């Protein structure tokens, strides 16, 4: 696969707990890992003065630029249609309407990949294509549409617990979920290269099934657009903040200068900027693919480029990475608050969520 095609066309980290954890203020300068771009846009919507979005994959950054341009140029209905929330037969025509507003490199990139536009760009990522394959072709072998609809219609956690135990958690479910979520399948079709490089032993499918079981029996389904998409391959009554009408309206009016998009390795970028630059960091799950030595160097640069009191938020998936022990004097955590945030996380497959406050006094 072309290394510059898109791995994630949506963000799979919950913007609700991210924004709450970072407690964005109007003077904040935020460093954000681009990924699908959704959470970079969520940080702008939360009121950050400046967001610098960094990704090594140019395709991810071109996607973020396209999402921002769509909010600036389209009506709300056109916006949903073009991005892929609504059906459309005219996305190529809509792209022509906004292409001149893109930077030349982004415009050329999208012109070279018209199939991604025609698919609806929120569906064009490697991970999203896999997720839709599961929802469209594998899940129907396990449960009927009626059964899926009943799960998504559960009104509270108590209903979810009973429904999961009595109707969902069958031998067929366990078998096919295990087939779809084993390490080899995810490595080949879903996750980007390098994400399993430092994952330990153990059965990945069992880990994810247990996490999903715990999630379905503790976190409300209502309003969970992540779960809706995972089980149906599309959004229904709930949307990420940037796709909501109020989010679209605010993005339409946010100055272009509030967002900078950088294509570079995160470490290279951090090493290129002055100390005490950022007040907030959204680091997705970047530590997953780092070696212990790389992890140590990156954390050193995070602390160097952070202002005193800066907040760093990130997720761990299968690799439980933390900061190096020698930097512990610079980093503090309110574990009780983090536990409260993690309990509200609407994405099931992460192993942990972390929020660190930088102290430089």
Residue 7 located in a structural domain: no
Q: How far is CA 288 from CA 123, 146, 184, 345, in A?
A: 24, 37, 17, 19
Angle at the Cα of 182 from the Cα atoms of 181 and 188, rounded to 5 degrees: 90
Question: 50-55 and 29-33 as β-strands: parallel, antiparallel, unpaired?
Answer: parallel
Q: Quick check: is 219 in a domain?
A: yes
Q: How confident is the model at residue 1, as a pLDDT?
A: 36
| pLDDT tens track for 318-349 | 998 899 999 999 999 999 999 999 999 999 99
The pTM of this model reads 0.95
If asked whether residues 212 and 257 sit together in one domain, one would say: no
What per-residue confidence (pLDDT) applies to 3?
A: 44
* Confidence grade of residue 189 (pLDDT, cut at 50, 70, 90): confident
Boundaries of domain holding 150: 143-232
Residues 323 and 265 occupy one common structural domain: yes
Backbone torsion region of residue 203, taken as left when φ is above 0, otherwise alpha when ψ lies between -120 and 50, otherwise beta: beta
- Return the closest-CA partner of residue 197 out of 323, 291, 294: 291
In a domain, 6, yes or no: no
DSSP states along 238-299: ---GGGSHHHHHHHHHS-GGGEEEEES-HHHHHHHS-SS-EEEEE-TTGGGG--HHHHHHHH
On whether both 31 and 155 belong to a single domain, the answer is no
For the residues 104-129, what does the mean pLDDT come to? 97
How many domains does the chain fold into? 2
pLDDT in tens, 193-245: 667 777 776 789 999 999 999 999 899 999 999 999 999 999 998 999 999 99
pLDDT one-digit tens code per residue, 35-91: 999 999 999 999 999 999 999 999 999 999 999 999 999 999 999 999 999 999 999
User: Measured between alpha carbons, how far is 199 from 192 in angstroms, rounded to an integer?
Assistant: 14
List, in sequence order, every residue forming a beta bridge with 280; answer none if it has no partner: 30, 311
Query: Is residue 336 a part of any domain in this protein?
Result: yes
Six token digits for residue 19: 């924004």
> Other C-beta atoms within 10 Å of 318: how many?
21
Q: Per the domain annotation, does 163 fall within a domain?
A: yes
The string over 271-300, giving b where at least 16 C-beta atoms fall within 10 Å of a residue's C-beta and e elsewhere, is eeeeeebbbbbbbbbbbbbbeeeebeebbb
Closest Cα to residue 64, out of 262, 247, 315? 262
């Amino acid at each position: 696969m072309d290394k510059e095609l898109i791995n994630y066309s949506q963000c799979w980290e919950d913007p609700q707990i991210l924004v709450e954890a970072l407690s964005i203020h109007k003077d904040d300068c935020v460093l954000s890992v681009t990924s699908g771009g959704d959470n970079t846009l969520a940080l702008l919507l939360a009121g950050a003065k400046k967001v610098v979005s960094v990704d090594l994959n140019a395709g991810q950054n071109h996607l973020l630029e396209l999402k921002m341009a769509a909010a600036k140029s389209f009506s709300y209905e056109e916006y949903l249609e073009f991005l892929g929330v609504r059906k459309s037969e005219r996305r190529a025509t809509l792209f022509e309407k906004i292409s001149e507003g893109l930077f030349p490199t982004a415009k050329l990139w999208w012109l070279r990949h018209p199939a991604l536009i025609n698919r609806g760009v929120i569906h064009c990522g490697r991970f999203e294509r896999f997720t839709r394959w599961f929802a469209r072709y594998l899940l129907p072998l396990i449960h009927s549409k009626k059964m899926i609809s009943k799960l998504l219609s559960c009104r509270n956690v108590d209903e979810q617990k009973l429904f999961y135990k009595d109707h969902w958690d069958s031998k067929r479910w366990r078998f096919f979920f295990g087939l779809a979520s084993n390490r080899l399948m995810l490595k080949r079709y879903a996750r980007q290269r390098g994400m399993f490089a430092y994952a330990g032993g153990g059965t990945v499918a069992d880990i994810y099934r247990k996490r999903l079981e715990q999630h379905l029996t503790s976190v409300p389904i209502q309003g969970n657009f992540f779960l809706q998409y995972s089980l149906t391959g599309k959004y229904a009554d709930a949307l990420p903040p940037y796709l909501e009408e109020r989010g679209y309206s605010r993005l339409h009016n946010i100055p272009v200068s509030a967002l900078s998009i950088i294509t570079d390795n995160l470490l290279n970028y951090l090493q290129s900027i002055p100390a005490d630059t950022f007040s907030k960091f959204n680091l997705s799950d970047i530590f997953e693919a780092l070696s212990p030595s790389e992890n140590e160097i990156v954390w050193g640069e995070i602390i160097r480029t952070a202002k005193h009191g800066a907040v760093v938020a990130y997720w761990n998936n299968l690799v439980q990475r933390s900061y190096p022990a020698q930097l512990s004097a610079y980093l503090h955590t309110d574990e009780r608050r983090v536990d409260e945030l993690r309990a509200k996380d609407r994405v099931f497959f992460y192993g942990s969520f972390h929020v660190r406050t930088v102290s430089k006094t």
